[in-house]
Structure 1
């Protein structure tokens, strides 16, 4: 957490240093509903590993953005937003020594991570009234990933928690890639200084995974995500 706090403070200081050049400062809070858009299934001897693609949560996301007007309709912007996510992994362990009807045993686990995102893009006003604006937004988003592992503190217990299952679930922390690129697009509506934004985010990279490493062996584990985000913000004139 100390490393995360240092990076957050450095990012906010960097953005604050650019505030003197901006017309508007937008500070908001949103929710992120992220889903895995493709699933990977790998088999390693008696262990099968796959990501749970139906796993989804509404995670909080604070954000800040500076807008630079180039004309009455168009403005460039740079921002910072962050939220916490997890890779939900499922493991099935099978053994020929087990008798029917118990042919396999499944367990779930995963690993956590903080996503630090820096949207860089532009906005175009579709509607420009005295107290109401409607804008379309498009941004490229560099994403840095800080791992926050969730290790299983479980001792092997018969067939319920075999060492193979524990090791396979703990290996989830080898999956996240430390950096990748997203893009996001959506609409923002403002009334006076209050705003509501709704946008979608998807990966530019073909995979945002390092792979999956178990017992020193690396396996291909491609993954992609997409999310829907909604947020409320307040605009400060600079």
Structure 2
């Protein structure tokens, strides 16, 4: 991953952070799509603990300020739900609900600045702010079921929940801010991430019809890392 950034570690002075973190993500959406007797909506995720490996390169341009670029990866999901009713349902089943997940692999490339707020002996405290381009690559597998399979399964319902794959936007922008604490070469980082745009969805499409489907996510991330100091080579 590091070489993909097009940087040679030995060409200039810098710090390289390599670590792993946990992503506690919350999704929220006010979008509800009504298709005949079927109501389609996202079931909000109230929290998760998704693993996130990351690499970050810091380039000092003063005693206190650093520019930075990094790569971080984690997987998230869009949890689509369909709620519907039918005249064929018995009285004790007023409605039925089905759902399916749309997995998304998120590759994030934070570009930002760090400010060294406190330095005492081998202890350092940084404030950090970044803009984060995000590329989302779907890893979707359709819900596979031979219909009919009971009174609450139809081909339409299968199509409705499988259309979750049309929702995620393949590219959007985030921002993140937080703090990092280092002692010697070991560090702990804590930051928040949120979307810059009002929606990270490409809408919801079913049978060639597009429906407005706005959704957003935000997360808190905590990680542990090891910092490598890379010194600039002196020219003879």
| Fold equivalence (TM over 0.5) | yes
**Equivalence for 2:216:** 224
Deviations 1:39-87 (A, max 9, x none): 3211111211111113532110000000010111111100000111110
Unaligned 5+ runs, structure 1 = 1-10
Distance 1:111 1:184, change over 3 A: same
Give the Cα separation in 1 of the matches to 2:174 and 2:107.
Answer: 12
**Equivalence for 2:54:** 63
1:12 aligns with 2:31: no
Contact residue 88 and residue 151 of structure 2 kept, 8 A: no
Distance 1:185 1:18, change over 3 A: farther
Q: How does 1:157-236 map to 2 (within 5 A)?
A: 157-236=149-228
Structure with greater proportional helix content: 1
Give the Cα separation in 2 of the matches to 1:87 and 1:55.
Answer: 12
For normalisation by structure 2, the TM-score amounts to 0.92
Unaligned 5+ runs, structure 2 = 231-236
Contact residue 43 and residue 49 of structure 1 kept, 8 A: yes
Offset, 1:22: 4.5
Offset, 1:99: 3.5
**Equivalence for 2:20:** 29
2:56 partner SS: strand
Offset, 1:153: 1.4
Give the Cα separation in 1 of the matches to 2:5 and 2:13.
Answer: 10
Contact residue 39 and residue 52 of structure 1 kept, 8 A: no
Offset, 1:14: 2.4
Give the Cα separation in 2 of the matches to 1:127 and 1:55.
Answer: 34
Give the Cα separation in 1 of the matches to 2:119 and 2:79.
Answer: 44
**Equivalence for 2:141:** 150
Give the Cα separation in 2 of the matches to 1:118 and 1:22.
Answer: 21
For normalisation by structure 1, the TM-score amounts to 0.91
Give the Cα separation in 1 of the matches to 2:95 and 2:180.
Answer: 49
Matched positions, count = 228
Aligned match for 2:33, one of 42, 53, 58: 42
Give the Cα separation in 2 of the matches to 1:83 and 1:68.
Answer: 25
Q: How does 1:97-176 map to 2 (within 5 A)?
A: 97-156=88-147, 157-176=149-168
